Amino acid sequence: MVTNDRPPETEYIGSLPWGTHLCQFQSTHEELADTLVPYFAAGLQQDEFCLWVTSDPLSVEGAKIGLRKAAPYMDRYLDIGQIEIWDYRDWYLRGGHFDADRVLGQWVEKEKRSLHCGYKGFRVSGDTAWLDKRDWPAFMVYEAEVYRVFPQHRMIGLCTYPLDGCTAEAVLEVVRNHQFTRARMAGEWEMIESSSFKTANGELRRLKDHTEETGRSETAEARLNERLRMEASVSERLQRFSAHVLEQQDEKRRWVATQLHEVTAQNVSAIAIYLASLQQRRSGPSAVKFILAKCHTLCEQSLEQILTLSHLVHPLILDELGLAACLSQYIEEFMKRSCIHVEFETGPEIGRLPLEMETHLFRVAQEGLSNILHHSRSLNAIVRLHRQADQVILQIEDFGRGMPATAIAAVSGGAGTGGLGILGMQERLRKLSGRLEIRSSNQGTMLTASIPL
């Protein structure tokens, strides 16, 4: 382990020891700049070597201009080469693909060179806006390895993630692979010590074993209670952050769906009407009429696609008529797209529910049906929506090959990351004091979501 003889950091980030691996979620480029300028300034002034990996739409040259504009003294550090700025394609995707071992080796090699040149340590930041679904699983494995390796070196790493590109499940995956998480909630920046969440279970187990072997000494019991309080505090803050992410995503989906349905679709519809009017005129070359006919057909196809996309992003019928009507329509369209037969069972007792509850249950159903389409290989499914006593029950059942053990472990409190949208579903239900249960075998899967009324 590297010794930590570091002076305090700038106020916004607290006192970070060597080996710290932290992340930040930002909504705008301004937030990114507001973080990275003081972050790198602290390192440069403390005689550290710094490296920043940028991602589109911020170019290397744009990053340099931004640093010089925010802090004119940065010119000197850029000129002497104490800070380097790389494009993500040259750092993360060298050779055209992401290789976790190679990238981690690059960090370690840069640290060795930094120390050899007399710098006190190595400070890095990598922006992940370039990440897509294809590279995400490998990148999460890489982040876990960085979490393990960095404490052995005189390095500090800040990974920045665009909040708009992350689902709630992705946020939780990122958080669990960093010691600290920085995010803006209710207009204020907060720092969450997420490493406590990751290490709490092991320490609790050791403390419990100790008290069983030595008797319940007051010291051991006090340590146990303190760790329990710490775990509860971290868990509560993580849940609050994930709930904040879900709210932002749902608000944005609702806005996008409304814009598509009420603005874009209306404009395309008007264009189609004008084209149809031109087609009906008897005068004019036949070639022009043919082109007008093609344009009219394309407009009609685009209109249909826009309305479908609007419904997938956020079905307006959910707000207008409620969950049961929305699921009925969504399932009909899902069957047409997937060729999977889905039975929908509900009753008049379901009525209208609070809008937040309807939204979260719809997203759970949407994720569950998506899993059936992409993973289960089942040709039939059943969706049930009922009220039972003082709770609402949503069940999604298929007859396919079953879920992987890691997904089941995530639901039952194991160490797996879950995948298949499981963590996102859990967070939605937890926000409403609900529960997610999964029973799965090679004969199929039953997913049950329950929320108290």
Q: How far apart are CA 67 and CA 404, in angstroms?
A: 47
Question: Model confidence at 47, in pLDDT bands (50, 70, 90)?
Answer: very high
Q: How far apart are CA 420 and CA 373, in angstroms?
A: 11
Kindly report the pTM of this predicted structure.
Answer: 0.58
Question: Model confidence at 181, in pLDDT bands (50, 70, 90)?
Answer: confident
DSSP per residue, 181-194 = EEEEETTEEEEE-H
The answer on pLDDT for 123 being more than 50 is: yes
Handedness of CA 182, 187, 188, 194 (dihedral sign): negative
Q: How far is CA 395 from CA 353, 415, 437, in A?
A: 17, 25, 10
Closest CA to 378 of 403, 407, 398: 398
Do the Cβ atoms of 114 and 124 come closer than 8 Å? no
The arithmetic mean of pLDDT across residues 92-109, rounded, is: 94
- For 259, the 3-state DSSP assignment is helix
The arithmetic mean of pLDDT across residues 97-112, rounded, is: 95
The answer on pLDDT for 6 being more than 70 is: no
Q: Which pLDDT does position 415 carry in this prediction?
A: 42
The answer on pLDDT for 9 being more than 50 is: no
Q: What is the pLDDT of residues 207-241, one digit of tens each?
A: 445 555 554 555 656 655 665 565 555 556 666 66
Q: What is the pLDDT of residues 143-172, one digit of tens each?
A: 999 999 999 999 999 999 988 777 777 887
**Residue 91 CB contacts under 8 Å (≥ 6 apart), including other chains:** 53, 103, 106, 126
**Residue 327 CB contacts under 8 Å (≥ 6 apart), including other chains:** 344, 346, 362, 365, 383, 385
Q: Which pLDDT does position 331 carry in this prediction?
A: 95
Residues of the chain with CATH 3.40.50.300: 11-192
Handedness of CA 346, 348, 349, 353 (dihedral sign): positive
The arithmetic mean of pLDDT across residues 428-434, rounded, is: 88
Residues of the chain with CATH 3.30.565.10: 323-453
Question: Model confidence at 175, in pLDDT bands (50, 70, 90)?
Answer: confident
Q: How far apart are CA 410 and CA 415, in angstroms?
A: 6
Of the options 3.30.540.10, 3.40.50.720, 3.30.70.890, 3.30.565.10, the CATH number for the domain spanning 323-453:
3.30.565.10
Looking at 57-61, 154-158, 256-260, which range is the least confident one?
256-260
Question: Model confidence at 98, in pLDDT bands (50, 70, 90)?
Answer: very high
Of the options 3.10.20.340, 3.40.50.300, 1.10.3720.10, 3.40.50.720, the CATH number for the domain spanning 11-192:
3.40.50.300
DSSP summary character for residue 448? E
More confident residue, 392 or 183: 392
Q: What is the pLDDT of residues 323-371, one digit of tens each?
A: 999 999 999 989 998 999 999 999 888 889 998 899 899 989 989 999 9
